[in-house]
Structures are given as C-alpha cells and as structure tokens.
Amino acid sequence: MTILVTGGCGYIGAHVVHALHKAGQRVVVVDDLSYGKPTRIEGSRLYGMDIAATGAGERLGEIMTAEDVDAVIHFAARKQVGESVAKPLWYYQQNLNGMLNVLTGMTKSHAKKLVFSSSAATYGVPPVDVVPEDVVPMVPINPYGQTKLFGEWMARACEEPFGIRFCALRYFNVAGCGPVELEDPAILNLIPMLFDRLKQGKAPAIFGDDYPTPDGTCVRDYIHVSDLADAHIAALHYLDRDERKYDAFNVGTGEGTSVRQIVDEVKKVTGLPFREAVMARRAGDPPHLIGSPKRINEEMGWHAKYGVEDIVRSAWDAWQANPDHHIDVANWKQNA
C-alpha cells in the first residue's frame, strides 16, 4: 500500500513513518514543517503544505491521486491544551479545516481508509476512573479536545456517502523515543519540558499540586511512542476488515502515573538530584485521565509493551544523543 501521513515529520508522525517503512509500506508525507524536519522521514516523498489553508482539499486530492494513495494517517494539527484555551478560534480554524481538507482530498481520490489521530482530551473530565470509549457524556473541557471530538464526527459522517473506512485512535500521554534521531523536536510534552528546564539550570516545573489525586498532581496514562506507532499499523489492518464493530479506540496502558511520579522517575534515570518548582495549574487540564485499552486489545490484538521506566529512559537517551540538548551530568552536579 501507499500511505499518506499528514504531519509525518513531527514527533509521533515520524515514529509512525518509521514503523510503516519497517512494515514494507510506501509512505508519502504532507507537513508544513512548523515542528518537524524532513530528515526524519527516511526518504519518503515530502510535500510541504499547510493542510488547513484554503484550497488544500483540492491539492491533497491531487497528491493522493498522483501518488496512488490507498490510506491516510492524519496527525497534522495543533495540540497544546493551554494554547487552545488562549486561542480557541485559531484552534478551530487549524484543526477542523485540516480534517475537512483531508476528507475532501480523500473524496477526490481512491484513498478510502483513514486513521485519525484523536485524543483522550475528547473525554473531558469523565465520571469514571478508567475510561472506556463509550463513556457518556463526552464533554471536552478545552477547545483542543473539542476539535478532536468534532474531527471524529466529521470522519464518521463521511463513511456512508463516500465509502471511507475510518477509525480514531484516542491517545493518552505519548512519551519516550524509538530511534534516538526521532527525539521529540518540540518542547511541548512533560518529559522534554523537564529535561529542557534541567538543561537551562532551572527547576523543572509541576503545574498544580492541589488536584484531587493521591499526591495532588495530575494523573495520566503514559504510552510509549513506539507502542503507539505499532497501534497505527494494527489500525490499518483493522480497516481492511469488512466487519468492524467499532471506529474509536483508546491507545493506552490502563495504568495511571502522576506528574510527581514522572518527576521522580526522571531523577532516578538521569541521576540529577534536582528540586522541582510547583507552579499554578494550567487552564484546561483535567485532574485524572486513564484509558481502558480493553477494546483495542481484543479487537486488534494490540498491547502496550513498554512501561514508565522504559519511556523515561528512552527519552533521556535521545535527549543525550542530541548535541544541542546534551547535559553533562557531572558538570551539572558540580554547579547545582
């Protein structure tokens, strides 16, 4: 098959491109390079474009036809919860138009399979500790989560009239690294943010320690990015089936880890005896979000292989392999 990956130069996208190449698939990437680099896609054909721009749907259709694309994996989107609260209209413009244009492109080509990068943010503050996919109500509490939920609705609405086979993967907190050259290029996720503060000689920050959780910090389901990449391969195979019971799947471990526990694991893995700083809560952060992986385990045969220590250690190895990020541990301890 030929797979088109939007946002394939980014953190998760590049890991999925890597997994697709390992699986013997031909890959075409569309990316505006706002975060990613073209060196991360292992020789895939790259089209540089903003998929949210006017006319992008027609252009995507042309690319899909010219490249004989069979399936699309759609990542390209804005993804910062706090930023979405501050800039809601921009998030709606970017994420909803991006999905609209991807679907438009698919209707103008023979690409009929779509795996959508959704999010656990669609659940808002769910009424259960471990969230199944069919929890009711689904009320996202920030514009980012709203755009992901509405993106699912948009894709689902196109299944019958256009013959598009669709499934959404609702990620929880993605972290870690596969090949070290695929290190998260943006300092937007918790673990790179902790490393970046250490690199700058500043105290790593915890945003809020007064949540209704065992240690007062937010509890999340952390999933290794390599496990997540494997889930996308499983999802493509799932869409080959004529009989499909579900079109939305949690991708998580079913286990919760608090921000403070992640901070403690970073101390252990790095050997850096830092003290963290507690900051104010960030807008739009739910206190507790863990997903049940039962559906994807049973329907796709996918299971997470890596735990929190694997996640932190692989992220640290990638950070240390980057000359621009590398921290001299002995020197850091002397100056602490």
What amino acid positions are annotated as catalytic residues? Answer: 144
Contacts of 79 (CB under 8 A, 6+ apart): 119, 144, 188
Torsion angles phi and psi, residue 168, rounded to 5: -105, 135
Secondary structure of 102-152 in HEC code, one letter for each residue: HHHHHHCCCCCEEEEEEEHHHHECCCCCEECCCCCCCECCCHHHHHHHHHH
- List b or e across 25-61, with b for residues whose CB sees 16 or more CB atoms inside 10 angstroms: bbbbbbbbeebbeeebbbebebbebbbbeeebbebbb
Task: Give the three-state DSSP class for 219.
Answer: strand
How large is the angle between the packed helices 11-22 and 225-239, nearest 10 degrees? Answer: 60
Give the CA angle between residues 284, 286, 291 to the nearest 5°.
Answer: 130
What is the chain's Cα-based Rg?
Answer: 20
- What element of type H or E holds 31? strand 26-31
Contact 148/119 with Cβ under 8 angstroms? yes
Question: Is the preceding omega at residue 126 within 30 degrees of 0, hence cis?
Answer: no
